[in-house]
Structure 1
Amino acid sequence: MNALYDSIGIDYSNLRKADPRIAAHIRNAIGDVASVLNVGAGTGSYEPGDLEVTALEPSAQMISQRPADAAQAVQGSAENIPFADDSFDAALAILTVHHWADAAKGLAEMRRVARKKIVILAFDPGFRENWLLDYWPQLAALDDAQMPPMDFYSGILGPVQISPLPVPHDCSDGFLYAYWRRPQAYLDPRLRKGSSSFWKIDGVDDGLARLERDLASGEWQKRYGDLLGQEQRDMGYRLLVADLA
């Protein structure tokens, strides 16, 4: 995955801008701590600016795009976190666990270095209420293959509180299902580049052709027009919080 993001990560910071509403949910989940390790930190989205943050990221391309005022970044992987036991109050992982070579080992490492809390934003692969699957059904198979199920986390971290993270209709972060009310966005190759999933599945062009046709004919609006009146929606993203103290 390091190699993938070294290839597709160019312009990633412009495509994946932290949404302030999602950031507020994450900051609230982190709670009252002083130090945080952000594992799989990427370009630094959702790192709380009021805390002492250390970033851990395997991709040099991602590290190079971190803002000048971002937290100090160390190049390294989740599976081998280069810090001593109990080095941080909390460990954070945002939409990254599915990219790890060994999720179980990475989660165990997070638990090793965190004293009080672990906060993870992940996708529930069992979630299927998503119109994109009608155009790219292969996304469901990809999610099943790379996304750990929700009960996987508690098996390693202990008791985990899981809550839905609603996605605003105008979300500024370009993750895969962020454009649920803006279907035209998926026709833009630059915006699709912000999601690794489109690099991993076959048949992308077939789905694009059907989506473009359905938008032009009004079929998409006929089938999914009720979404256009919704301000936010559960798209399967989950906040997982493990209290360790």
Structure 2
Amino acid sequence: MDATYDRIGGDYAATRRPDPRIAAAVERALGNADIVLNVGAGTGAYEPEDRRTVAVEPSITMIRQRRSRGSALAVQGRAEALPFADRRFDAAMALLTIHHWTDPVRGLQDMRRVTRGRIVLLTFDPASRGTWLTDYLPGLIALDAAQLPAMSFYGEYLGKVDILPVPIPDDCTDGFLYAFWRRPSAYLDPARRAGSSSFWALPNVDAAMWRLEDDLKSGVWTRRYGHLLKEEVFDAGYRLVVTAR
């Protein structure tokens, strides 16, 4: 999470509420780790409440929105220069944040340095086209490719990893970019869009949303994508990357 969120992250806690099903997948991936580091922690949405957690986040705006959470400690800092001793943590997690790091290689290496057990990452596979949203904002495809490492990257720098799909439920409570795959009208709300950095990075978003609004009113969207309304989960390209230790 970069300092951009000092400017755009003022309502992040409201628009990016943790989804319990995604939280459960992260919990399972962490195994029996007791002391957990959360890198690029944002407002701390997915931090496990039954473990000792230390959060690292560069944006003071995000830190100020953190939930009141028992023993959780938040430190202002960056993934590329973690202010901790070697092998300090049982496990480390970094959720939907690597695309904000200035140096992903150094960030992963430093996570490995301070962690004696598993590393758990939630990220997006840039080889995926996401959802129908890219038909309205085709620039998302190039943006994802520019910001996000390929899936092969993680094994190269972390060793053996498992890569697990994270299907997104139709009523996902977290407002990340492709969360509203079955609720297209949600994208018409500027407050919801503000919770995703991609909308801040692309030009002509308003024009694309006007076209989406017109297509919803005319029935064009339903004719093209209405088959999704029958689905309860969708694989939009989000992945859990979990190291062997």
TM-score by length of 2: 0.98
Structure 1's consecutive aligned runs of 4 or more residues displaced over 6 angstroms after TM superposition are none
* Aligned-partner SS, 2:55: strand
Match of 2:147 in 1: 146
Q: How many residues align?
A: 244
Question: 2:28 maps to what in 1?
Answer: 28
After superposition, residues 164-183 of structure 1 pair within 5 angstroms as 164-183=165-184
Cα deviation digits, residues 198-235 of structure 1 (max 9, x gap):
00011212211210111010000000001001111101
1:90-129 correspondence to structure 2 within 5 Å: 90-128=91-129
Corresponding position of 1:60: 60
Q: Displacement of 1:68 after TM fit?
A: 1.9
2:216 matched residue in structure 1: 215
In the alignment, the residues of structure 2 paired with residue 63 and residue 33 of structure 1 have an alpha-carbon distance, to the nearest angstrom, of 24
Which AA in structure 1 matches 2:99?
H
For each residue in 1:9-45, what CA deviation from the matched residue of structure 2 results, as whole angstroms up to 9, or x when unmatched? 1011011000001100110111111110000000001
Answering whether residue 208 of structure 2 is matched by residue 189 of structure 1, we say no
Residue 8 of structure 1 aligns with which residue?
8
Is residue 2:46 matched to residue 1:46? yes
Helix, strand or coil for the counterpart of 1:24?
A: helix
Match of 1:69 in 2: 69
1:88 match: secondary structure: coil
Unaligned runs of 5+ in 2: none
Q: 2-side partners of 1:195 and 1:27: how far apart?
A: 24
- Shift in Å, 1:2: 3.1
Instruction: Give the secondary structure class of the aligned counterpart of 1:91.
Output: strand
Q: Distance in 1 between matches of 2:153 and 2:170?
A: 29
Equivalent residue letter for 1:118? I
What code does the residue aligned with 1:17 have? Answer: R
Within 1, Cα distance between the matches of 2:46 and 2:3?
23
Q: Is the 8 A contact 2:168 2:234 kept in 1?
A: yes
8 Å contact from structure 2 (residues 49, 69) kept in 1:
no
Identical-pair percentage: 58
Gaps of 5+ in 1: none
- The amino acid that maps onto 1:222 is R
TM-score scaled by length of structure 1: 0.98
